[in-house]
Amino acid sequence: LVQVSLVLVLLWMSAAVCFADNPVIGNTFTADPAAMVYNNRVYLYTGHDEADVNGTGYVMKDWKVYSSTDMVNWTDHGTPLSVSAFSWAKGDAWASQVIERNGKFYWYICAEHKTIPGKAIGVAISDSPTGPFRDALGRALITNDMTKFSSSYWDDIDPAVFIDDDGQAYLYWGNSVLMYAKLNSDMVSISGSITSVSLPNFTEAPWLHKRNGIYYLSYASGWPESISYATSQSPTGPWTYRGVIMEPTAHSGTNHQAIIEFKGQAYFIYHNGALPTGGDYRRSVAIEKFNYNSDGTIPTLQPTST
């Protein structure tokens, strides 16, 4: 009887640990994670879902920052950036990513443009990873250009930024079609032209990372969204499709990922609808540890909370 009780207690404890760990932010609905490793800390930048429990669309007005030295205990740094910081924007604080260059922090965001129909990408700047941030340009960096891409109202969403070892920075973004451009070293202007990329089943949410000389481009694919990825020898492709990292989760049609390495461990950071009363418009950031396969491919991951 003692042994059975012990096993039951251990089972309960391991279930409790899983529940406590994922979603990692339990008191606020958070979505569209991006992560940056800086000075031995992980900074987690998220969107903020504020739709009520019967909501039928996104209510997103600002972005949040958390940080951790162990990926388990997270410090809440509040809400250092909101749509109101961008005079050209009128709402929809959608996905974003922050990167550091020469001691400055650049926060690429997506919001609805006040005067140009559709979403646009802007950039805020700060001296600290936790802000305060201010609009770096006073105008959007990327706006809807129907003449070039005849694409949709939503094509300029989900900015992802990457700086290669040679110092060249790249901005990726898109919905239905992936686009990318080089950034100048000022990080707030585009160098050259915008290129579109064909990827199998690309929906949105690009994320670029590099490991052992291989460039990984992960993205949300299909609907409901899986997270798929492709690899290349270059940040501009050509890309070889490698498969699915995560199948759709149970309570959120969207998923949106960041992939980082911290203290020698790889992490897949994503969102789901797993909190009580969570769902499509009330999402939560979750994290899975993973190990690359010996050939550098990424295994398919099971969400530990759905």
- Verify binding: residue 181, ligand FUB, rule CB under 6 A: no
- Verify binding: residue 58, ligand FUB, rule CB under 6 A: yes
**Enclosing H/E stretch for 148:** helix 146-149
Find the binder of ligand FUB among 47, 122, 159, 206 (CB under 6 A): 47
Residue 76 in tokens: 């809440």
Would you say the C-alpha torsion 20, 24, 30, 32 has a positive or negative sign? negative
Region 104-133 residues binding ligand FUB, contact defined as CB under 6 A: 110
- Verify binding: residue 31, ligand FUB, rule CB under 6 A: yes
Interface mask toward ligand FUB for 158-177; x: CB under 6 A? x-------------------
Look-up of token digits 């979505």: 31
* 190: β partners: 183
Residue 246 in tokens: 């995560």
Complex with ligand FUB: residue 17 or 155, whichever CB lies closer: 155
Find the binder of ligand FUB among 35, 111, 157, 227 (CB under 6 A): 157
Complex with ligand FUB: residue 69 or 253, whichever CB lies closer: 253
Find the binder of ligand FUB among 29, 30, 32, 82 (CB under 6 A): 32
Task: Give the nearest distance from C-beta 240 to ligand FUB in angstroms.
Answer: 23
Residues 6 or more apart whose CB falls under 8 angstroms from that of 117 comprise: 144, 153
Complex with ligand FUB: residue 14 or 84, whichever CB lies closer: 84
Region 235-254 residues binding ligand FUB, contact defined as CB under 6 A: 254
Closest to 74 in 3D by CA, of 301, 304, 284, 273: 284
Complex with ligand FUB: residue 36 or 121, whichever CB lies closer: 121
- Verify binding: residue 45, ligand FUB, rule CB under 6 A: no
- Verify binding: residue 94, ligand FUB, rule CB under 6 A: yes
Q: Which residues are catalytic?
A: 32, 204
**Number of residues forming the site for ligand FUB (CB under 6 A):** 13
Complex with ligand FUB: residue 108 or 233, whichever CB lies closer: 108
On the 0-12 / 13-18 / 19+ scale of CB atoms within 10 A, 124 is: buried
CA–CA dist 182, 215 (Å, integer): 16
Q: Which long-range contacts (CB under 8 A, 24 or more apart) does 221-230 make?
A: 222/248, 223/253, 224/248, 224/249, 224/252, 224/253, 224/254, 224/255, 225/253, 225/254, 225/255, 226/255, 227/255, 227/257, 227/270, 228/200, 228/201, 229/298, 230/199, 230/200
Residues near ligand FUB (CB under 6 A) are: 31-32, 47, 58, 94-95, 110, 157-158, 204-205, 254, 256
